[in-house]
Amino acid sequence: MRRLTLALSLAGVCFAWTAGAHAQDIQERVIKFGHLNNADHPVSLGVKRFAELVASKSGGKLKVQEFPASALGNEMQQQSALQGGVQEMSAPATTSLAGIVKEFGLVDFPFAVANFAQADALLDGPLGQALIARLPEKGLVALGYWDLGFRNVTNSKRAITKAEDLDGLKLRVIPNPVFLDTFKAFKANPVPMPFVELYGALEAKAVDGQENPFAVILSNKFFEVQKYVSATNHVYAANIMLVGKRFWDRLSPTEQRIMTEAANETRAYQRQASRAAAQKAVAELQAKGMQYNELTAAEQARMRQIAKPVTEKFLASYDPAITKLYADELARLHK
């Protein structure tokens, strides 16, 4: 009986020491998390959920402080702040990383994925992880991908139901070589233009249309100056959860585990919230008078073939090991 009592008391001491050791592994920290979107955007909802989970898992010691609506600067300024150790976290579009790891440009390739399941499989699988593995040497650590959504074409002339419908349309595109060459392949007239100038250009009919995710089309009131919205789904856009490596390296293994677990749990929630917001936006755009149409799977596959020379041109400038992985993953996803 005495031996049993001794064993139980030793076990209790051991457990208390372990719990105490883990508690000591978590320091009081404030984590500044910046992003470009408004406080009601799905990216902001993701940050809030992540903050709740981190606080819960750390006993309130790790506090995530959100800075929405470009409060800490644009994407490149925040990227520099993370690398310099001035800011702890951000959630930019993956496009912004192509300047330091050009292979991130693969995520913006046209008609690479046809649906959300394929997009998630590509980013959560070997390709997405290979891209993430290139970031630490650039001073960044990534904790996974979030949803921004498929980009879709709006215009004032006609519904887009097939490739030929883009012929001759003057479309504003983001100033990105892949986007310019893609729309040229469809015989459209792509016009690179800063986003802030877009509404005025649509209103003045300086351009016929533009392309953006549904939620962006709604929140910027393009329905006031555009008649047709077509679910072209020509590019899938993603955000990425970034942590500055200088900050990450100061964290204890326990703190890193808490951050990683919270990020993994947040990912599914953020994607669901973002996709629900996109669906709601479609209904609201129709209610505002826009004419909505979808493309058939066969037409999307055909458009993918038309855009193929564009992707092959850009692939030639990327790391062959990454491009092979990309091709293998797409072949698997499109089976």
What is the distance, to the nearest Å, from the Cα of residue 302 to the centroid of all Cα atoms in its chain?
A: 26
Mean pLDDT of the residues in the chain: 92
9 confidence band (pLDDT: 50, 70, 90): low
All structural domains of the chain, each given as residue ranges with its CATH number in brackets, are: 28-333 (3.40.190.170)
Cβ-based neighbours of 121, under 8 Å, separated by 6 or more: 329, 333
pLDDT in tens, 161-193: 999 999 999 999 988 888 899 999 999 999 998
pTM of the entire predicted model? 0.86
CB of 99 within 8 A of CB of 175?
A: no
pLDDT at 21 over 50: no
3-state DSSP assignment of residue 77? helix
- Identify the pLDDT of residue 22: 62
pLDDT at 229 over 90: yes
Percent of the chain whose predicted confidence (pLDDT) is above 70: 93
Average pLDDT over residues 128-157: 98
CB of 258 within 8 A of CB of 26?
A: yes
Residue 299 parent element (H or E): helix 297-315
The C-alpha atoms of residue 206 and residue 246 are separated, in whole angstroms, by 46
Average pLDDT over residues 43-71: 96
pLDDT at 131 over 80: yes
